[in-house]
Amino acid sequence: MSRPNNFVILGGGISGLSTAWYLSRYAPSSTKILLLEGSNRFGGWIKSKRVGKHKILFEQGPRTLRPNGVGGSVVLDMVNKLNLTPSLHAVTKDDDAVKNRFIYYPDRIIKLPGTSLLSSLKSIIMNNFLLKSIPSILFEPFIKPQKNNHDETIHEFISRRFNNSMSDILISALIHGIYAGDVKKLSIRSTFTRLYDLEQRYGSVIKGLLMSNKEAFLSQQDKDLLKIINDENKELLAIFKNVSLYSFKDGIEQLSSAIVNDLKNRENVQLKTNNQVTKLEFGENVKIFTNDGIYEADHVISALPSRALYHILPKKDTLPHLNYNPSVSVAIINLAYAHPNILPVKGFGYLIPQSTPNNPYHVLGVVFDSDAMPLQDEPSRTYTKLTVMMGGHYFNSISEKDDFPSEEILLQRSIEILEKHLGIYSTPLYYLVDIQKNCIPQYYVGHYSRLKELHYAIKRNYTNQLSVTGASYWGVSVNDCVLNSAKLVFNFLSNSPNVVTGLEKVEIE
């Protein structure tokens, strides 16, 4: 089977950009690459904006990256190759933003156990629900496992292996921060994959954590990738051993902008915005119809949301499950205050569990941006910056009708919440309100099995003409999206005769 030489990539978010970047760097120079983006900008949900005469930086999408894991190493390698290291802003593991994490429950800010033994004991003793979790942690190794690749909701898994309150309070808060989702609907296998794998392999989460090492669940491809990256980035990775979070001087969008600028300098790459794909036709080649013209390719890589891909296929029944999982919308309200020390606590921020009573505005959490990334504004440490996140799965009923609260209402609700939760009665100097519509895919129970069926359907119906990448499949973080796009490209460029779909992981596991 001949390797494709003419690629069209659909979608110019971080997944599409990363796919184009890896192809442009590692495919033969004769490879043609066209990237089509439907909107007027690249970067997708990554949006960093400076506002007002003081040029305060607001993040309306992802705001920090983690250097952990294979995905973290892959992104750092990309950062290094794009010459972005002089712009890095890192937060070390001993910083308050890392050590101090909070939740709001039931009617106050609660500090979660951290790295300090003394502060962790104090936090546990002062909060009854944390105290009640200790016996369930001690007895977890003795609970009979459910094996045979059984999937269930996160709530069912955590309640079965630990207790209900751990799921309802701690885990649901964490899920609000990552997926803005409902802990009683999301799949344990596809969200907290490590916990799922620990039970499958060791029969217990706690036993598995004690017995396994970092490489226990890595594929051979992951190990090979890590070795190459570690060899090429020794100095940077050594510096980042004590780093927990990082961003860039001008925000996360500096990463996507650097990829775009790099791609513009490559002769075999074309980038086009304002090209909304309306349909695909598969024959000897693939025809891509957009509002601006018709393009042809040997192979199409869709980095679109799976539901968007579903609507442009010539036959809707050829690929199953593309429109099964919904995506949630999140309201992002950025606020900057002209005073540097108005927060009652220092830390990254706080999340709000699903079980917290009296949450009428459906707040998911509040990020203390001026603590999390204090050096992105000039002069630094002069302002207090906060981001309020609302909606997510709570918005599901109004998302279908597109009946979201107005910007004025969202702003007023945010100010009211900050008064109630943090005692902030000042008027913000600057603010920015946006609703990120359908921004985070929700991996409902059975997601892995559906991906397996989708993988074989692509192989059967669109052999060597279509593959997929993006947040709809193997993870929603920036690290996940970059890593999976990199793997897709490396699978294309390997000498293997296998058809590449982007979902090969289902054959490995």
107-140: pLDDT as tens digits = 999 998 865 545 545 565 567 777 888 899 899 9
What was the pLDDT predicted at 127? 74
pLDDT band, residue 498 (cuts 50/70/90): confident
The larger pLDDT score, comparing residue 117 to residue 332, is at 332
What's the chain's length in residues? Answer: 509
CA–CA separation, 229 and 3 (whole Å): 25
* Among the listed residues 29, 49, 170, the one whose alpha carbon sits nearest the alpha carbon of residue 432: 49
In order, the DSSP letters of 88-120 are EEEEETTSHHHH-EEEE-SSSEEEPP-S-HHHH
Q: What is the pTM of this model?
A: 0.96
61-74 mean pLDDT: 96
C-beta separation of 49 from 58 below 8 A:
yes
Name the 3-class secondary structure at 202: helix
How does pLDDT run across 422-456, given as a tens digit for each residue?
Answer: 999 999 999 999 999 999 999 999 999 999 999 99
Report domain extents, the chain: 6-44+251-323+444-508, 48-66+84-96+325-441
214-243 mean pLDDT: 90
What was the pLDDT predicted at 46? 98
Residues 6+ apart with CB under 8 A from 234: none
The larger pLDDT score, comparing residue 378 to residue 288, is at 288
* Among the listed residues 141, 137, 161, 165, the one whose alpha carbon sits nearest the alpha carbon of residue 150: 161
What was the pLDDT predicted at 267? 95
Three-point CA angle 383, 385, 387, nearest 5°: 170
C-beta separation of 335 from 350 below 8 A:
no
Match domain 6-44+251-323+444-508 to its CATH number in 1.10.3720.10, 3.40.50.720, 3.40.50.2300, 3.50.50.60.
3.50.50.60
What was the pLDDT predicted at 378? 80
Average model confidence (pLDDT) for the chain? 93
Considering only the C-alpha atoms of the chain, give the largest distance between any 2 of them, rounded to a whole number of Å. 68
What was the pLDDT predicted at 130? 79
C-beta separation of 288 from 6 below 8 A:
no
Q: Which CATH superfamily is domain 48-66+84-96+325-441 in?
A: Protoporphyrinogen oxidase, mitochondrial; domain 2 (3.90.660.20)
* Among the listed residues 473, 80, 219, the one whose alpha carbon sits nearest the alpha carbon of residue 72: 80
pLDDT band, residue 1 (cuts 50/70/90): low
Residue 161, amino acid: R
pLDDT band, residue 147 (cuts 50/70/90): confident
Which residue has tokens 């979070």? 245
What was the pLDDT predicted at 113? 83
* Among the listed residues 153, 226, 218, 221, the one whose alpha carbon sits nearest the alpha carbon of residue 192: 153
* Among the listed residues 188, 115, 178, 127, the one whose alpha carbon sits nearest the alpha carbon of residue 351: 178
| Tokens at 187, concatenated | 């799949």
* Alpha carbon distances (Å) from 348 to 67, 112, 130, 376, 466: 17, 12, 20, 15, 41
pLDDT of 475 over the 90 cut:
yes
Torsion angle of alpha carbons 14, 19, 20, 26, nearest 10°? 140
267-273 mean pLDDT: 97
pLDDT of 497 over the 70 cut:
no
What was the pLDDT predicted at 126? 65
CA–CA separation, 343 and 368 (whole Å): 9
Distance of CA 128 to the CA centre of its chain: 32
277-288 mean pLDDT: 97
Q: How many CA atoms lie within 13 A of 280 on its CB side?
A: 26
What was the pLDDT predicted at 118? 52
pLDDT of 14 over the 90 cut:
yes
